[in-house]
Amino acid sequence: MAVGFLARSRIVAPAGWSRWLVPPAALSVHLAIGQAYSWSVFKPALEKSLGINGTLSAIPFELAIVMLGVSAALFGTRVERNGPRWAMFVATCCFSSGFLVSALGVATRQYWLVILGYGVIGGIGLGIGYISPVSTLIKWFPDRPGMATGIAIMGFGGGALIASPWSAQMLNAFGVTTAAAGQGTAGIAKAFLIHGLVYAVFMSMGWLLVRVPAEGWKPAGWDPSVVQSRTLVTTANVSARNAIRTPQFWCLWVVLCLNVTAGIGILEKAAPIYQDFFPTATSKAALASAAAGFVAILSLANMSGRFIWSSASDRIGRKNIYRCYLGIGALLYLAIVLTTNANKVVFLVCTLLIISFYGAGFATVPAYLRDLFGTFEVGAIHGRLLTAWSTAGVLGPLIVNAIADAQTRAGQTGPAKYILSFSIMIGLLVVGFVANELIRPVEPKFHEPAAPRGAASLAERGMP
Amino acid sequence: MTEIRDRIPAAEPLNRAPLMALAWLWVLAPFGYGAYELLVKIPALFGS
C-alpha cells in the first residue's frame, strides 16, 4: 500500500476542487508515454551508429508494447488500490529511467541496455501510466465518462505528434543524421538523456495535480438514474478477478482485439499503401511528400476520433457506437476493396474514418467497462483487457505484411497487393460486430456484495 | 477552526484559476507544437 505523499488518502479533493484540473494531469502522463509511437525516429540512427539491422532496432518498441499489456494486466489491481498519484509517480520513474538506461547503453555501445531500458523498464512505465488516470477520470466524470477517457487516451495518440518532430530535430542538432556509419552514438545518448529528464519534469504535473473525488461526490445537478436507466449500465460493481470470468469481458476482448487489428491493417503500412494506390506524382520526392502527408492526416484522424467518437458514446450508448466502429468500418473497407484507386477522395474519406474508429475503440473501452462492471476496479479490469492490444499489435502487422509480401512475390502490383488483406479485415470486423452483439448485462452472481465489501475497500484505501 | 474550514471552499475556486490556466497551458503548448508540425505536412498530400 502506498504511504505518505503518494497515498490515496493524501489526494482526496477538498471541497471546491475543479474536476477540470484532472484531464490536464492525465494528459501530462499520456502525452509523454505516447512518445512510444515515434520510436521509428531513432531506428535509422541506431542502425547506422551501432551497425544493427531493422529487426533488432525494432525490438525496444515491440517489447515496450508487449510490456504495456503485461504490466497493465499485472499491476492493474495495485494501481487501483494505491491510487493515481502512486501510479503516475511509478510511471514517471520507469518511463524516464528507461531513457536514462538507454542513454547509458548507447554511450557504452551495449545495445542490450537499450532493450532493457526502453523495452522493459520504459514498457512497464507505459502500462502503469496508461491505466493510471482511467478510473479517476471515470469517477470525476460519471456524467461523461466517454469524453473524459477520450481526452486522456487522445493524449496517447498525440504523444507521437509531439515527440516525432522534437526527437528528429534533436538528432539533427546533435549531428546524428549526418554522422558517418559507426559514429553518432554520443549524439543519440545525449538525445535519450534529454528525453528522460524532460519527460520526468513534464510528467510531474500529473502526480502533483491529480486528485480523487471525496466519497459521495457527484457533479452538481447530475442525476445518476438517467445514466443507469440504460440497458447495459450497471449500478453494481464487479471485481477484476470476477470480471475475467464473465463472457462479457471476453466478448469485449475480442471486440477490442479485432478493431485494433483492422486499424493496424492500414496504419502499419500507411506510406507504402498510399504510394501503391496513387503512384502518379510528378517525381519520387513529391510521392514521398504526399505519402508523408497521408501518414500525418491519418495521425490527426486517429487522435481526433478518440475524442469525438468517445464523447458521442456518452449520448448514443457504448454498444451502439461499437456497432458503428465495427459495422461501418467493415463497409468502409469494402468500399476501398471495390473502388481501389478509382477515386482519391473516396479512398481518403474511407481510410480516415477507419483510423478514427481505430483510435476511438481504445478511447471508448474504459467507459464500456464502467457500464458493464461498475467503477469498483474498472482500472484493473481495463489493464487486463489491454492484453487484447498486445495481441492485435502482433496479429495486425503479421497479416498485412505477410500477405503484401506474398502478393509481391506473386507479381501483383498497386492496390492488388492489399485486396486480400483488406478482405480479411472485413471478416475480422464482422466477427467483432457479432462479439459486440453478444454482450449482455453481467449476471448478478458476479456482483460484489453491496455494503460490507464496499466499506472494507474504502477503509483499505484510507478514504474518509 | 471549523468556521475557517467552512469559509475555504467559497474562496477556493477563484484561487485556482491560475493553476487551471497553467495546467492546461502545460499540456496544450507542446500539443500545439506537434499539431503545427503535422499540419504543415498535409498540403503535400493534395499537391501531387
Helix H or strand E segment including A415:
none
How many other β-carbons are positioned within 10 Å of the β-carbon of residue A51? 12
Chain segment A342-351, per-residue pLDDT in tens = 999 999 999 9
CB pairs under 8 A between A and B: 98
Distance CA A40, CA A164 (A): 9
Q: Check whether A333 has a pLDDT greater than 80.
A: yes
CB of A173 within 8 Å of a chain B CB? The answer is no
CB contact under 8 A, A289 and B35: no
Confirm if A326 and A433 have CB atoms less than 8 A apart. yes
Query: Which residues, 6+ apart, have CB-to-CB distance to A421 below 8 Å?
Result: A265, A399, A400, A403, A404
User: Given this model, what pLDDT does residue A226 score?
Assistant: 67
Mean pLDDT of chain A: 89
Q: Is A43 exposed, middle or buried (0-12, 13-18, 19+ CB in 10 A)?
A: middle
- DSSP secondary structure letter of residue A7: S
Any idea which residue has 499485472 for its cell? Answer: A74
CB contact under 8 A, B46 and A293: yes
Chain segment A431-449, per-residue pLDDT in tens = 999 999 999 999 999 988 8
User: Given this model, what pLDDT does residue A388 score?
Assistant: 92
Chain segment A267-303, per-residue pLDDT in tens = 878 888 888 898 877 788 888 888 888 988 888 899 9
CB of A256 within 8 Å of a chain B CB? The answer is no
Distance set, CA B25 to CA A55, A83, A95, A197, B33 (Å): 39, 25, 23, 20, 12
Nearest CA in chain A to B13: A16
How many other β-carbons are positioned within 10 Å of the β-carbon of residue A264? 22
Phi, psi of A212 (to 5 degrees): -105, 145
* Percent of chain A topping pLDDT 70: 95
User: Given this model, what pLDDT does residue A404 score?
Assistant: 80
Query: Which residues, 6+ apart, have CB-to-CB distance to B35 below 8 Å?
Result: A158, A161
pTM of the model: 0.86
Q: Which of B28, B38, B39 to mutate to test the interface with A (most CBs of A within 10 A)?
A: B38
Q: Check whether B24 has a pLDDT greater than 80.
A: yes
- Higher pLDDT residue, A395 or A263? A263
CB contact under 8 A, A290 and B45: yes
CB contact under 8 A, B9 and A292: no
Confirm if A251 and A442 have CB atoms less than 8 A apart. no
pLDDT tier, B23 (very low <50, low <70, confident <90, very high otherwise): very high
Greatest distance between any 2 Cα atoms in chain A: 72
CB contact under 8 A, A293 and B19: no
User: Given this model, what pLDDT does residue A234 score?
Assistant: 74
Query: Which residues, 6+ apart, have CB-to-CB distance to A429 below 8 Å?
Result: A258, A259, A262, A326, A327, A329, A330, A333
Helices A284-316 and A344-373, interaxial angle, to 10°? 40
Query: Which residues, 6+ apart, have CB-to-CB distance to A90 below 8 Å?
Result: A125, A128
What number of residues does chain B have? 48
Nearest CA in chain A to B12: A16
**CA geometry: angle A387, A433, A145, nearest 5 deg:** 60
Q: What is the ipTM of this complex?
A: 0.83
Distance CA A27, CA A159 (A): 9
Q: Check whether A71 has a pLDDT greater than 70.
A: yes
How many other β-carbons are positioned within 10 Å of the β-carbon of residue A56? 16
